[in-house]
Amino acid sequence: MSVTGAQSNGPFRIAIVGGGTAGWMAANLMQAAWRDRDVAITVVEAPDIGIIGVGEGSTPQLKAFFDGLGIDESAWMPACNATYKNGISFHRWSDAEGPASYFHPFPATIDAHTAPAFYFNSHYRRCGYDLEAHPDHFFLSAHLARNRLAPIGSENFPFQMAYGYHFDAYLVGAFLRKNAASDGVRHLEAEVSGVEVSATGDIERLRLKGGGDIEADFFVDATGFRSLLLQGALKAPFTSFADNLFADSAVVMPTPTDPTGLNAQTKATALSAGWAWDIPLTNRTGNGYVYSSQYLSADDAEEELRAHLGLLGSDVAARRLKMKVGQVAEHWRGNCLAVGLSQGFIEPLEATALHLVQSTVETFIDAFDGGGFTAARRSDFNKAVSRRFEGVRDYIVLHYQATKRRDTEYWRDNAANRKRSDRVERLVNCWATGGDLKREVAETGASDFYPLTSWICLLGGYGHYPAGDALRPPPPDIGGFDLSEIFEFVRRCGLNFPDHRRFIDQRA
Ligand SMILES: Cc1cc2nc3c(=O)[nH]c(=O)nc-3n(C[C@H](O)[C@H](O)[C@H](O)COP(=O)(O)OP(=O)(O)OC[C@H]3O[C@@H](n4cnc5c(N)ncnc54)[C@H](O)[C@@H]3O)c2cc1C
């Protein structure tokens, strides 16, 4: 292999510690990138420790992941009880009149036909004119989600939709493990009990419980929240995001699938001290309540989730989890890269964790190929990954600070919290003063992480417009769009998409 820094004369040896989704995604991506070079990848995982077993919703990036590996949806989706995700709908996040819920679509090329009307109307509504600006009316993805349609258009439909997936975390891990093994990745079931670090700050070897050790030229820490290598052995500092993302706990509980049809969206419903997800798989619905332990006890959170699901008094088992929200100061330190929960986590509201795993590994492959172990490469890489974490964090933080709920101390504290980046501050001010949000989103770099549509959906979706009685009719000179044409266009496009449940069943 041509990467510099190999400390052995044989193949360049990479040891990945951790067999959760992050570890197996890294193994598959690295093996695919370096298959034709002299590289030997080993994944070590401890079955007794197990995986976190959540993380069942994705962004559209996961499609690129499987496409890049040459794995067709018809191969992996049935094996992982997977379904399609048109986007996320947010319920009860706002007490404002009108927007009890809204849908956040993934950006798609067909939006070019309808988004200009959305931008126009939301801008003038911010300026006090009575124009329809609820995001749900303007996007085909929202129509597909509302009508439980799969985002796979008929053959003659000329646009491809952007979509993510829902899937079983354990089955995805098993699928990726099998795929990696068939591609030449070595798999070892063992618990790492010690990490030896050289005087120069590189990892030399891993000691295994029960005897034996593993030497490698490069190590990937995919040990989940434990972060045994990067935060543990190499002592990489961790920057917490707790001052503006309060959630630190979750309780998780499955329910049977909805017999009336298969949702094609994630639902995020605000509860008293956080929010609950509803993720439809082919064989069950995944549910969980992400909350802050400063505001709610674990027992009360479980009780509230049971009540939300209509399961009060039932003996369905619940799982309780702790979350560490933030990121490491350096994602790549010495000869170790952290991926997944070991590098950091931004709570799961926009299901971005696997997206960040994928982009971290892909950026690493590019950086490593381009310059190997140079300090400059590593520094550029760390800056790029940290910036991405911060960009995603900004959007999630705005969900909480833009909320209009005031019914509990938790929501009041979130709404009053002004700890946020300059970027978010600028966007909020621009919105409130009727400024050019498109320009502001571009100038602040916010569009590197979420497009203009997403920022408008969020602020508009939570009802940050002048109150209904303060709105005035738009004067004729501001022109505008014929909304009946737009809505009819969306409806007609929707005719090209199949019922989600039927489509999934036919393909299984
Ligand atoms: C409540 C919650 C909801 C989430 N929802 C989403 C979502 O919707 N979408 C999304 O993209 N992400 C989500 N995530 C994040 C997602 O779960 C993780 O990013 C993903 O599962 C990857 O986890 P991981 O592989 O880093 O860690 P884990 O799954 O914890 O895997 C760690 C691995 O390390 C191994 N290990 C640990 N210590 C040792 C040792 N000493 N020796 C050997 N092996 C060891 C374990 O055996 C295991 O194989 C969510 C997370 C939480 C907490």
**Bridge partners of residue 165, in order along the sequence:** 84
DSSP label at 331? S
pLDDT at 7 over 90: no
Residue indicated by tokens 């400063």? 294
Q: Which residue, 16, 46, 31, is CA-closest to 336?
A: 16
In ligand 1, which atom is closest to the CA atom of 192?
A: 42
Active site residues: 85
**Bridge partners of residue 101, in order along the sequence:** 91
Which residues, including other chains, have CB under 8 Å from residue 174's CB and lie 6 or more apart? none
Q: Which residue, 169, 299, 257, 204, is CA-closest to 8?
A: 204
> How far is it, in rounded angstroms, from Cα 203 to Cα 88?
41
Least confident stretch, 8-12, 72-76, 145-149, 416-420: 8-12
The answer to whether the CB of 366 falls within 8 A of the CB of 381 is no
Under DSSP, is residue 15 helix (H, G, I), strand (E, B) or coil? strand
The answer to whether the CB of 51 falls within 8 A of the CB of 21 is yes
The answer to whether the CB of 345 falls within 8 A of the CB of 54 is no
Pocket of ligand 1 contains residue 274 by CB under 6 Å: no
C-alpha of 230 from chain center:
22
Least confident stretch, 38-42, 51-55, 92-96, 109-113: 92-96
Pocket of ligand 1 contains residue 227 by CB under 6 Å: no
- What pLDDT score was predicted for residue 2? 35
Name the amino acid, one letter, at 462. Answer: Y
Helical H segments across 80-158, by residue range: 115-126, 140-146
**249-255 and 186-189 beta bridge pairing:** unpaired
Centre of ligand 1 to C-alpha 23, Å, is: 9
Helix (H) or strand (E) holding 305: helix 298-309
- What pLDDT score was predicted for residue 6? 46
> How far is it, in rounded angstroms, from Cα 331 to Cα 337?
6
Q: Is the dihedral of CA 415, 416, 417, 423 positive or negative?
A: positive
Q: Would you place residue 9 in the very low, low, confident or very high pLDDT band (cuts 50, 70, 90)?
A: low
pLDDT digit string (tens) for 430-445?
A: 999 999 999 999 999 9
pLDDT digit string (tens) for 217-241?
A: 999 999 999 999 999 999 999 999 9
Under DSSP, is residue 166 helix (H, G, I), strand (E, B) or coil? strand
- What pLDDT score was predicted for residue 271? 98
Pocket of ligand 1 contains residue 254 by CB under 6 Å: no
Residue nearest to atom 17 of ligand 1 (CA): 55
Ligand 1: which of 16, 24, 28, 45 to mutate, judged by most atoms within 8 Å of the beta carbon?
45
Ligand 1: which of 16, 29, 51, 324 to mutate, judged by most atoms within 8 Å of the beta carbon?
51
- What pLDDT score was predicted for residue 1? 37
- What pLDDT score was predicted for residue 370? 83
Pocket of ligand 1 contains residue 276 by CB under 6 Å: no
CA distances from 458 to 400, 450, 484 (A): 10, 11, 24
> How far is it, in rounded angstroms, from Cα 193 to Cα 195?
7
Q: Would you place residue 72 in the very low, low, confident or very high pLDDT band (cuts 50, 70, 90)?
A: very high
pLDDT digit string (tens) for 373-413?
A: 788 999 999 999 999 999 999 999 999 999 989 999 999 99
Under DSSP, is residue 255 helix (H, G, I), strand (E, B) or coil? strand
pLDDT digit string (tens) for 78-87?
A: 999 999 999 9
Q: Would you place residue 159 in the very low, low, confident or very high pLDDT band (cuts 50, 70, 90)?
A: very high
Q: Is the pTM of this model over 0.85?
A: yes
Provide the mean pLDDT of the chain: 95
